[in-house]
A and B are shown apart, each in its own frame.
Chain A
Amino acid sequence: MTELKAVYQQRYETVLRPVASALEKQLHEYLEGAERIDRIAARAKSIDRFLAKSQKIENGVPKYVEPLRQIQDQIGVRIITFYISDIDNVAKVVQRYYRPIETHALVPESESEFGYFGLHYVLHVPTDVIEPSMDREMVPEFFELQIKTLFQHAWAEAGHDLGYKPGETPLSSDAKRRLAFASAQAWGADRIFDDLFRERAESGAISSGGLGGDEARGRDEESGEASVSFAKGWGN
């Protein structure tokens, strides 16, 4: 554990933080001119969060045998859009410039559940963001990128803060139901805003600025995959 901490600490300072910063800059360039993006933010996973995650137990055995290789969100990037339609436009840019090994539209498991929504990628760290002076062995192969609307992001952040901090008392059933209710409201708000945006863009009242297709609109309906059914925090 001490050795893992020392290695990660060095990686955090010398590689993860500068690479995260370079990725954020690169995404700003790639998405230049894209409208209705609230923010692009990248971070290096904190040392405490990484160590906590590396100790995770699953089915009675350690989840990560090689945490420095297996934990793929040592660098995390978030892109927050205004509307659901915008997610598709951002996703197209991401897929154009980065190579994914995983693409996952996270939605609650059943249609009657509400919880975490978001489009997640695990992408190769591009060589352009690696400084020649960096020890390549220290640079993780992958980073995680999330694309969410403002409402999806707001719900995930608050939900994570309230219920998913390590060591805290688990949420009661009633509290979970209230969080699910808040998620349903955020989902509904996203729909209303997206409908309004589309109506006004299609009537020419506002600039569409690259209106997303039905693909984006229906993503949560199309995916029936098992997913994190509640908040999946970013784990700073």
Chain B
Amino acid sequence: MAIEHIHTYLVHPGKGSENAPQIGGANVPLNGQLFNLLGGIYAKSDVECDIEISFNQSEQGTQNNPCRDLIVAYLSGPTIPRGRHIADRLELATTHRSGLGLLFLIAGTEGRQHKVVISRFPANSAILAEEDQRQLSVAFLERVFMRSATAYKAAVYKDSSLQSGFWMGRAIDKQLNSGVIQLSNYWIADFLASDFRTTSAAGTRRLAVALRDAAKRSGNITVKSEIAAAVTLAGSLRGRTLSVREFGEQFGLSNASKEAIANEIKAPGLAEERFPFDFEEFSKQIAYRSVELDSGGILSAASSDFDRVFHREPSDAAPEMVRFSTEGRIVSETLGKQR
């Protein structure tokens, strides 16, 4: 860790506001308790920021991005005025709903690489309690900035080239975990002018193909059933961001099922990449779910509808036997050479 500069700015909501407040800014000394806190954030940022993002092309389709330009300009000589341009940009993207925030820019070098961590602490209120031998006194505190478990946001960029690099970074956005992407569009989309490096279609396709192949290749009937059940419930993931690994956790899959899915992913890192789930793409890749019984019967329906179309119940004949039933009008019947 070699932090060389820390600058901080108080950023008010300024989106849609004609008179956005002027932003000041201050140096943070490279020692003391605050430095220790920020040093920890800087050191952990590579792991903590778990979403790979990349800057968008310009609206004209050229290799220009206004936020990247500001970050590169800041890193080429970190000063309060250069950092203020980044704070100004955040102010213009911040809504009243997101509220007041304290922005930290932590710049340093790691070997040949320049590194910057951009971290926003949302404002909160708190109660200060002080106790001495005779009494307890409490006071209400406004403008307390906390590393909130639900609204903390940060981004880290690391590259050796200020000229050609800094197209990709990593971000953390605790609000994304709430499942409502719109809440925090302002951090990745508006402020950072970025998007997920893995597109929703590419990430979802990777997940769907892994699930499909895992269910197909596994010889374990429990694994097949668990995966099929999770696929049926995947509609509930609309609007969420997740990774292949998180999909397994979301639906409480067994270790055997998670392992079967992981085996279908080429590299472990790919299972960790997060992307916005795209139900349309998912349905395209896993359109149908089929169940084959040892009686020779095959049931098939759209994956998302299977459990609604077929009612499943235990059979009295034997503990492992099941009975499926469904009701409807016959719309077609086919004969074929293959199943």
Contact = CB atoms under 8 A, between A and B. Distances in A.
A53 B207 CA distance: 39
B164 interface: yes
A128 B270 contact: yes
Contacts of B61: 100, 102-104
A97 B198 CA distance: 8
Q: Contact size class for B?
A: 20 to 34
Interface in B263-311: 266-270, 273
Contact of A97 (B63, B161, B205): B205
Interface string B163-179: 11101100000000000
B55 interface: yes
B62 A127 contact: no
Contacts of A185: none
B197 interface: yes
A98 B57 CA distance: 12
Contacts of A128: 202, 206, 266, 270
Given A100-B57, A101-B63, A127 B163 contact: no
A65 interface: yes
What's the dominant secondary structure at chain B's contact region?
A: loop
B199 A96 contact: yes
B195 to A, nearest CB: 7
Contacts of A96: 199, 201-202
A104 B57 CA distance: 11
A96 B204 CA distance: 11
A141 B199 contact: no
B119 interface: no
Contact of A126 (B165, B198, B268): B198
B57 A101 contact: yes
B167 A132 contact: no
Contacts of B269: 127, 132
B232 interface: no
Interface string A52-70: 0000000000000110011
Contacts of A132: 266-269
Contacts of B199: 96-99
Contacts of A104: 61-62
Interface string A74-106: 000000000000000000000011111111100
A28 interface: no
Q: Contact size class for A?
A: 20 to 34
A100 B59 CA distance: 12
Nearest to B281: A96
A72 B56 CA distance: 17
B164 A102 contact: no
B164 A99 contact: no
Interface centre among B54, B57, B168, B270, by most A CB within 10 Å?
B57
B200 to A, nearest CB: 9
A131 B161 CA distance: 24
A225 B60 CA distance: 10
Contacts of A156: none
Nearest to A105: B61
A69 B167 CA distance: 12
Contacts of B163: 65-66, 69-70
Given A66-B161, A69-B164, A127-B198, A101 B55 contact: yes
A130 B52 CA distance: 16
Contacts of B195: 99
Contact of B57 (A65, A103, A127, A225): A103
B54 A101 contact: yes
Contact of A124 (B60, B161, B168): B168
27 contacts: A65-B163, A66-B161, A66-B163, A69-B164, A69-B165, A70-B163, A96-B199, A97-B199, A97-B201, A97-B205, A98-B199, A98-B202, A99-B54, A99-B197, A99-B199, A100-B57, A100-B61, A101-B57, A101-B63, A102-B63, A128-B206, A128-B266, A128-B270, A130-B267, A131-B267, A132-B266, A132-B267
Given A102-B57, A132-B266, 17 more contacts: A69-B161, A96-B199, A96-B201, A98-B202, A101-B55, A101-B63, A101-B167, A102-B63, A124-B54, A126-B202, A127-B198, A127-B267, A128-B266, A130-B267, A131-B267, A141-B165, A225-B60
